[in-house]
Chains A and B, each alone.
Chain A
Amino acid sequence: MDTTVFLQLLLPGLTTGCVYALVALGFVLCANVSGVVNFAQGEFVMLGGMAAAWLIGLNVPFVLAIVAATAIGGAVGAAQEFLTLAPVRQQPHFIQITTTVGFAVVLRGITLIVAGKDALSVPGFSGDGVFFVFGAILPVQSLWVWGATLLMLVGTFTVLRYTTIGRAVRACSINLQAARLMGVNAERLRVIVFAVSGATGALAGVVITPIVLASWDAGLTYSTKGFIGAILGGFRSPMAAVLGGLFIGLLESLGAGYVSSGWKDFIVYGVLLAWLLIQGGVFLRGRAGAAAGGQ
């Protein structure tokens, strides 16, 4: 196997996987505290990228634009929970999930109206140069994506493990009713978690934009791939979701490189389908059924 080619496929896959991982993490955190699959999760990535590009276009200082874009993601995340999900909390789950889809569409539409239809670019944080890893060529911005992802993951897992809020989130994921009985304010916690998920997604969008551009309609892809990552991770453990997201990024890139670019999505969705069938015990049941039929 050619090491250069392998790294040329692996490392950019890791970069994309970082974004999927953060989206997957957002999916799982929101689901753990609210029981709702938030299909607007990928839109925060789009929102972060678009907001940063738009602000930089308005000559807002670079660092301030990044902070503001992240804050906008956090505020919109909190607003989503407070304004759209809290009012339908008592409704059946499919209503709540549909609400998140509606929120995603509205967010996309507003972004289109405010920032326009063209893809927007942001200069690389350390310029638009490249660096080499055993012959593989990567944009310097990849280092920012990896670094920011690592920082956000360490931060998130530290909070989850060592703070009261983190313990409350974990408690909710184990047993929401029991957590409430132990005094956890689930309503407040939901708003906080949605805000953190929004900010995390937005920051991911900011750091990836110099590589992939920002576009008002880019969120759906991130939502889909992040969702698949979260499913592969079992949709409960934040760490497993992160690994699931990274895996999807790597699978896409290596699949396109070593099998065929035309088979990229087939491979990703094929793995998802196989995983769901295995998880559902379909193969085992099939065997059991066959055995029963043979008796």
Chain B
Amino acid sequence: MRTRLLACWVAALLALAISQTNADEPAELNIGVVASVTGPFAAPTKDTFDGFNAWMKQQGLPGKKIVLQTLDDETNPVNAANAFRKLASDPRIALIYLFINSNSAMAAKSFASEFKVPIITGGGADVLGIPPDPWMFKVAPSNRDYMIALSEYIKRKGYTKVAHLYSTDTFGQYDHTNLEKLAPQYGYKLVAEESFAIEDTSFNAQFTRIRAANPDLIYSSASARAAILAFKQYRQLGITTPLVVAGSAISAAFFNAIGGPAAADGLMMMTQRGSLGEGLGGESANYYAELKAGMGGQTPVFFNVFGFDVGLITAAAITQSDGSRQGIRDALEKLKDLPAINGPVTYTTQDHTGQDARSITLGKLQNGKPVPAD
């Protein structure tokens, strides 16, 4: 009898000790990440991770340990869909990030609701946010928002002839469709509409046709390697027409490949407010300073800011939810004008775009840093 009583005491003490140990450890938040670790979109993805890691370092989630489980989609929509399925099937995963391009994100959207896991996604394509999938939340403004901002600039400058260089992937197609729709409203004409595949290495024919069309402004939707080659060939051909590039074109790899930041002086970029850095003001400026500090003082680029903003959205959703998949989803949909570096984040039941045209600005590069374009 005494032995049995002693055993009960020992068991009770052990249980207490174990529960005490668990209480000391922060609860884990498992986040699945589908990322283009390799392939043409690898450079922006690395920048995104750098920005997100800076958020983890500077803020993170107090009392919670974030565990990332990352799968590479190799910048391939089929792989992205498979990777998403695998992560979403794991009941431990509370939230999924898609650090991939629009093409791949579109592939995941087609069955986002199937697994009922909240998703925070990259990608600029309009349809990622409108019409919304109840479980998918986009961060950056849609292509349409960007094209509205560009059209307003074109109208302000009195330009009437515009050339568009765009990729044949989803992002490029949406940019182009929106420009076509907006052109009559803003009083300009697309005088050259040139496409390319993201693996193309020559843009000579496209720029030859663009030059022959004599536009007032050229807008290039190229990103990653294509953006580097397009800019090099634009410069090589001695074209003097102002060139505006997508914000995603500018990365550390871009500057390295063109011979340093100064080589891009005067290049204009469609970008989000975060690119203006210290000049942002308010809470955005504080976050920007944190991002920069988190990156060891290195000047953040477009996708660094995106990565940091993903962290801010995550923190808001987690702290306002019970941590369940449904709870995080509901909290995300209730976010209204959440301060972030690139601009306020708002979701509604009708629109899961996140940031909107308020977060977009047209910058001009000066020694690698954007200043507001005139």
Contacts and interface: CB of A to CB of B under 8 A. Distances in A.
B194 A9 contact: no
B219 to A, nearest CB: 15
18 contacts: A2-B212, A12-B202, A16-B201, A117-B46, A118-B253, A121-B257, A121-B258, A128-B259, A212-B229, A213-B228, A213-B229, A218-B201, A256-B205, A257-B209, A261-B196, A261-B205, A261-B209, A264-B205
Given A118-B43, A137-B238, A12 B204 contact: yes
A35 interface: no
Contacts of A119: 43, 224-225, 228, 253, 257
A129 B238 CA distance: 11
B324 interface: no
B339 interface: no
A220 to B, nearest CB: 8
A262 interface: yes
Nearest to B37: A117
Contacts of A130: 236, 238
A215 interface: yes
Interface in A215-268: 215, 217-218, 220-221, 252-254, 256-257, 261-262, 264-265
B201 A118 contact: no
A137 B229 CA distance: 16
A213 B225 contact: yes
Contact of A253 (B196, B202, B257, B258): B202
Contacts of A265: 197
B206 A261 contact: yes
Contacts of B248: none
B201 A212 contact: yes
A112 interface: yes
A253 B203 CA distance: 9
A217 B40 contact: yes
A139 interface: yes
Interface of A: 2, 5, 8-9, 12, 16, 112, 117-121, 128, 130, 137, 139, 212-213, 215, 217-218, 220-221, 252-254, 256-257, 261-262, 264-265
B199 interface: yes
B100 interface: no
Identify which of B194, B236, B237, B256 gathers the most chain A CB atoms within 10 Å of its CB.
Answer: B236
B168 interface: yes
A137 B253 contact: no
Q: Is the interface of A mostly helix, strand, loop or mixed?
A: helix
B204 A117 contact: no
A215 B225 contact: yes
A117 B201 contact: no
A118 B224 CA distance: 9
B350 interface: no
B38 interface: yes
Contacts of B38: 112, 117, 217
A8 to B, nearest CB: 5
B256 A221 contact: no
Nearest to A208: B201
B208 interface: yes
Given A16-B202, A118-B43, A261-B196, A213 B257 contact: yes
B256 A121 contact: yes
A264 B206 CA distance: 11
A256 B206 contact: yes
B195 interface: yes
B242 interface: no
Given A117-B43, A218-B201, A257-B208, 8 more contacts: A12-B204, A119-B224, A121-B256, A130-B236, A213-B225, A217-B38, A257-B209, A261-B205
B42 interface: yes
A212 B40 contact: no
B264 to A, nearest CB: 14
B13 to A, nearest CB: 51
Interface in B30-69: 37-40, 42-43, 46
B199 A221 contact: yes
Given A8-B204, A12-B204, A137 B43 contact: no
A262 B204 contact: no
Nearest to B201: A212
Contacts of A212: 201-202, 229
A224 B113 CA distance: 38
A143 to B, nearest CB: 14
A267 B318 CA distance: 52
A262 B195 contact: yes
A256 B237 CA distance: 17
B228 A137 contact: no
A9 B202 contact: no
Question: Which 10 A/B pairs are nearest by Cβ-Cβ distance?
Answer: A256-B205, A212-B201, A117-B42, A257-B205, A12-B204, A118-B253, A262-B195, A119-B225, A121-B257, A261-B194
Contacts of A215: 225
A253 B197 CA distance: 14
B201 A221 contact: yes
Contact of A118 (B194, B204, B208, B256): B256
